[in-house]
Amino acid sequence: MTSHEPLPIREVDHLEFYVGNARQASYYYRLVFGFDQVGYRGPETGVRDRASYLMQQGNIRFVLTTPLEAEGPLTAHLARHGDGVRDVALQVDDAIAVWETAVKRGARPIHDPIREVHGDGGVTRAAVATYGDTIHTFIQRDGVEPPMLPGFRAEHKPGGGAGLVAVDHLVGNVEDEKMEDWVEYYLNVFGFTRFMTFDDSDISTEFTALRSTVVSSPNGRVKFPINEPAPGRRRSQIQEYIDFYHGPGVQHIALQTGDIIASIAELRRRGVEFLQVPSSYYDSLAERVGPLKEDIDRLREFGILVDRDDQGYLLQLFTRPVEDRPTLFYEIIQRRGALGFGKGNFKALFEAIEREQALRGNL
């Protein structure tokens, strides 16, 4: 790979979370979000220091890992950050070449390449650091089809599904004045492109503000918005995240559905808690976004938000944080042509977040 050639990344392979109790988290993602449990590793499979559950829905794969030891990097990570995303693993054809190029271009190495055998095939992986204690593992699969990973035994505990099909984008929160450094990292090391930028005038309410830049892989399949807090009259939600996660990290994961009304109906039925916007949001919706295929009464019933750009429109909704700390949350998104991120909804959403920040005493 020459100096500015993009790293040949296919897509997000999986996300690994460090959690306090992976067994219970696996029930949450299965019974509430509808993921199938498709693999397990732990003492029963010869792994002594951790237990992990492999979850899948559509092309979305999560690994939920908990430490079994009193000390060590995994335990320290969990104590500092609470439950959260440790690894945004990226699928590549040649993990060693991609890792070597990334390191040569300035990425901080985390794991040297290792190859693990699985059945008749194997997986080669190597990792580099990104913001905070978050890492990217490059995963090369040779005859080991997703979702399977070495060290796991196959399981089949169905979750029923909620129509979620893929990771649409994954957002990182970084410290004030650090966004541009991390954008440069993805441009210079990964060869990503600058896809979109939002400044304080796009993303501010009466009280708080943030700035965001979206970087994208050239094939458009990996999109990472990077947020930083911006000065406002009160504490930005990005600063609240950083204060409780004790550093930068993954703020939200947007999951795509092909039918958002059906997905949200199912997720609500199963107990997912979503942010609430005032019902006045829907009064002017038709004028603001024009004709929609969906029935506005149903969008109002389920609290689904809509935004239009010059390519089409999108429908989206955000969960409340899924931990006690106000850190990671999910977005459910359906795209009908639009390539954006719901700029027209930012204000209503951030006001909804501020109401929750205020209840936590953090605004």
Q: Which residues are near Fe ion by CB under 5 A?
A: 254, 331
If we measure between CA atoms, which residue out of 248, 201, 208, 210 comes closest to residue 230? 210
Kindly state the smallest distance separating residue 315's Cβ from Fe ion, in Å: 13
Kindly state the smallest distance separating residue 252's Cβ from Fe ion, in Å: 6
Kindly state the smallest distance separating residue 225's Cβ from Fe ion, in Å: 6
Question: Which long-range contacts link 55-58 to residues 24+ away (Cβ below 8 Å)?
Answer: 55/26, 55/29, 55/30, 55/159, 56/146, 56/147, 57/33, 57/159, 57/161, 57/162, 57/164, 57/165, 58/164, 58/165, 58/166
Kindly state the smallest distance separating residue 352's Cβ from Fe ion, in Å: 14
Q: Which is nearer to Fe ion, 235 or 343 (CB)?
A: 343
Q: Which is nearer to Fe ion, 89 or 254 (CB)?
A: 254
DSSP string, 332-357: EEEEEB--S--GGGHHHHHHHHHHHH
Q: Which is nearer to Fe ion, 88 or 254 (CB)?
A: 254
Q: Which is nearer to Fe ion, 7 or 255 (CB)?
A: 255
Q: Which is nearer to Fe ion, 281 or 341 (CB)?
A: 341
Q: Which is nearer to Fe ion, 51 or 254 (CB)?
A: 254
E-strand ranges in the chain read 9-18, 36-41, 50-57, 60-67, 84-92, 109-118, 121-129, 135-142, 153-157, 164-173, 193-198, 209-216, 223-230, 249-257, 305-309, 312-318, 329-336
Q: Which is nearer to Fe ion, 51 or 349 (CB)?
A: 349
Q: Which is nearer to Fe ion, 174 or 254 (CB)?
A: 254
Kindly state the smallest distance separating residue 316's Cβ from Fe ion, in Å: 7
Whether 129 and 73 have beta carbons less than 8 Å apart is answered as no
Helix (H) or strand (E) holding 24: helix 22-27
Q: Which is nearer to Fe ion, 189 or 253 (CB)?
A: 253
Q: Which is nearer to Fe ion, 92 or 333 (CB)?
A: 333
Kindly state the smallest distance separating residue 333's Cβ from Fe ion, in Å: 7
Kindly state the smallest distance separating residue 170's Cβ from Fe ion, in Å: 9
Kindly state the smallest distance separating residue 27's Cβ from Fe ion, in Å: 26
Kindly state the smallest distance separating residue 168's Cβ from Fe ion, in Å: 8
Kindly state the smallest distance separating residue 318's Cβ from Fe ion, in Å: 8
Q: 327-347: string of b/e by CB count within 10 Å (b at 16+)?
A: bbbbbbbbbeebbbbbebbbe
**Which residues are CB-contacts of 265 (< 8 A; sequence separation ≥ 6)?**
302
What gap in Å lies between CA 35 and CA 55, rounded to an integer?
6
Q: How many CB atoms lie within 10 A of CB 139?
A: 24
Residue 79 has, within 13 A of its CA and on its CB side, a CA count of 8
Whether 140 and 92 have beta carbons less than 8 Å apart is answered as yes
Question: What are the C-alpha distances in Å from 167 to residues 24, 90, 110, 224, 233?
Answer: 23, 12, 24, 11, 34
